[in-house]
Chains A and B, each alone.
Chain A
Amino acid sequence: MSDTSPERAGGATGADPSALAQTIVFSGVSVVRDGRTALDRVSIGFEEARVGIVGLNGSGKSTLLKCIIGLVAPSAGTVAVDGRDALREARAIRRTTGLLFQDPDNQIVMPTVDEDLAFGLKNHGFSKAETAERVAGALVRLGIAPLARRRIHELSGGEKQLVALAGVLAISPRTVLFDEPTAHLDLKNRNRLRDVLHALPEQAIVVSHDLELLADFPRVVMIEAGRIVRDGAAADVLAHYREANR
């Protein structure tokens, strides 16, 4: 890794990832919906602190993420997170595994910032006092404390994405799944999110078209038509992906 500045040191390859990272295992997972095969006999395990996933639109990347927290039921095979079945123990898994969606407008359900952050916390049974504490903490952590009482529809796209992420981080997950986090962001906000991602101690599995974001990940996986076709170090897989889609 060429960048060794202090702020980055504790990021992607530092800060004891093994403590937080969960082991995610796909065993022969197929997902077939309306005659379309979204995933085709996928067997793979993730336990690194950072894993990137690349693939063209419709290749199955989002479906893969959704299977991890039981939002999609496989037609065949099983998905397990630290040994827990993704469908049967979805609730427990969602407590330790957050998902940041592409469009923050689909993720934010409350009219104001603090109410929305509280939503996830209340669902998982945190007390009022803890909720208030964690909401404040998450906002400070992402540098958006001034937004606490703001109304969602007044925020910019970048601010909404950070609010959505704050909502995910507030429950202290061990893993955060990112589904194309910079897709709707302008350059400035994209850089902001990149910096946040670098400094994230939680395990992160990132689906992205923004290949630079994944450049220093220890592992990147390439999906094509529902199958894993390449799996290895970022430099190798990304080069292969670029070449394949010239």
Chain B
Amino acid sequence: MIAALARPGSSPLHRTAAARKLAALAAIATLLFFVDAPAPLGFAFAAGLAAARSTGVRFAEIGSDLKGPAAVLAVLGLADWWLVDAATAVSVVLRLGAIALFAHAVTVTTSTAELTAVLERLFVPAERLGLLDAARAALTVTLAIRFVPLIVEEAREIRQAQAARGLDGSITALAVPLMVRVIVRAEALADAIDARGFPPERAVVAPSRSPEIRPDREVPTP
């Protein structure tokens, strides 16, 4: 399991429902899209900073959390400064910075469990539209979370074994064994998932627009 970016706390944002925060973030991002003047964008930036700080995270931590996006912004700002003018560069940086800060505030105050619940609610209408099977989609995401640490560990082991044999650096020597292991493991994993009774029987038979569950192995007709 990977450590989420969310942090525990009891700030006002922590206590706000996840769906509300997500909707607000989307609304802010959309609204700021239509604003170009530096002054209101500066205000938005300050508001974003305040929101991020209100979660309990100190300014220095906010800075270090966002150094990746900050670097990207710096590049874009410089590009605009060089190719257009200073005012445009400032606007772009302020707008994207404000959005990044508001997003940070939401990320830090919303747990993976809450977001997973929102995600699962989104699966339901998608399932009715026949786009996916909610149980399988949910399992796939959870499987990925479960296996990331293991696969990362395997990648590191392969790298170390390479280094010990003096083959350090070859991407192929890392990717090929990693992919082969994954493909072999997927076969065994599928057996285990089936053996444990997945998928659960539906209590109410859903309209058959959702994808057919086809077994890997052929079932002889009686």
Footprint of B on A, CB under 8 Å? 66, 69-73, 87-88, 91, 94-95, 98-99, 101, 103, 105-112, 119-120, 122-125, 151-153, 167, 171
Shortest CB–CB separation between residue B26 and chain A, in angstroms? 28
A71, A111, A120, A151: the one within 8 Å of B197 (CB): A120
**A101-B188, A124-B200, A151-B1 given; A73·B146 CB < 8 A:** no
Interface contacts (Cβ under 8 Å), in number, total 80
Footprint of A on B, CB under 8 Å? 1, 139, 142-143, 145-146, 149-150, 153, 185, 188-189, 191-201, 217-220, 222
Residues of B within 8 A of A71 (CB): 191, 194-195, 217
A70, A72, A101, A112: the one within 8 Å of B192 (CB): A101
A154–B43 Cα distance when bound, in Å, is 46
A109 touches B150 (CB 8 A): no
Task: Please name 24 pairs of A and B residues whose Cβ atoms are closer than 8 Å in the assembled complex, sorted by A.
Answer: A66-B191, A69-B195, A70-B217, A87-B219, A94-B195, A99-B192, A101-B188, A103-B188, A106-B188, A109-B139, A109-B146, A109-B192, A111-B1, A120-B197, A123-B200, A124-B197, A125-B200, A125-B201, A151-B1, A152-B146, A153-B149, A153-B153, A167-B196, A171-B197
Residues of B within 8 A of A122 (CB): 200
B146 touches A88 (CB 8 A): no
A91 touches B201 (CB 8 A): yes
**A73-B219, A167-B196 given; A106·B201 CB < 8 A:** no
Residue in A71, A94, A125, A167 with the greatest tally of chain B CB atoms within 10 Å: A71
Shortest CB–CB separation between residue A181 and chain B, in angstroms? 14
B189 touches A106 (CB 8 A): yes
Residues of B within 8 A of A125 (CB): 200-201
A153 touches B198 (CB 8 A): no
B150, B200, B218: the one within 8 Å of A105 (CB): B150
Q: A103-B188, A125-B200, A153-B149 are in contact. List 19 more A-B contacts (CB 8 A).
A: A66-B191, A71-B194, A73-B218, A87-B217, A87-B220, A94-B196, A94-B197, A106-B188, A106-B192, A107-B192, A107-B196, A109-B142, A109-B146, A109-B196, A110-B142, A112-B1, A120-B196, A122-B200, A153-B153
Shortest CB–CB separation between residue A105 and chain B, in angstroms? 6
A112–B2 Cα distance when bound, in Å, is 12
B193 touches A73 (CB 8 A): no
A119–B139 Cα distance when bound, in Å, is 10
Residues of B within 8 A of A110 (CB): 142, 146
B142, B189, B201, B217: the one within 8 Å of A73 (CB): B217
Residues of A within 8 A of B191 (CB): 66, 71, 101, 106
A111 touches B146 (CB 8 A): yes
Shortest CB–CB separation between residue B195 and chain A, in angstroms? 5
A108 touches B197 (CB 8 A): no
**A66-B191, A72-B217, A73-B217 given; A88·B196 CB < 8 A:** no
Shortest CB–CB separation between residue B52 and chain A, in angstroms? 28
Residues of A within 8 A of B193 (CB): 109
Shortest CB–CB separation between residue B69 and chain A, in angstroms? 27
Residues of A within 8 A of B219 (CB): 73, 87-88
Residues of A within 8 A of B142 (CB): 109-111
Shortest CB–CB separation between residue B154 and chain A, in angstroms? 10
Residues of A within 8 A of B200 (CB): 122-125
A110–B197 Cα distance when bound, in Å, is 15
Residue in B145, B194, B222 with the greatest tally of chain A CB atoms within 10 Å: B194
A103–B150 Cα distance when bound, in Å, is 13
A125–B200 Cα distance when bound, in Å, is 7
B197 touches A123 (CB 8 A): yes
The 6 closest A-B pairs by CB, nearest first: A123-B197, A106-B188, A153-B149, A111-B1, A73-B217, A107-B192
Residues of B within 8 A of A106 (CB): 185, 188-189, 191-192
A107–B6 Cα distance when bound, in Å, is 29
A106–B197 Cα distance when bound, in Å, is 15
**A66-B191, A151-B1, A153-B150 given; A88·B222 CB < 8 A:** yes
A95 touches B197 (CB 8 A): yes
Residues of B within 8 A of A120 (CB): 196-197
A92–B139 Cα distance when bound, in Å, is 22
Shortest CB–CB separation between residue B190 and chain A, in angstroms? 9
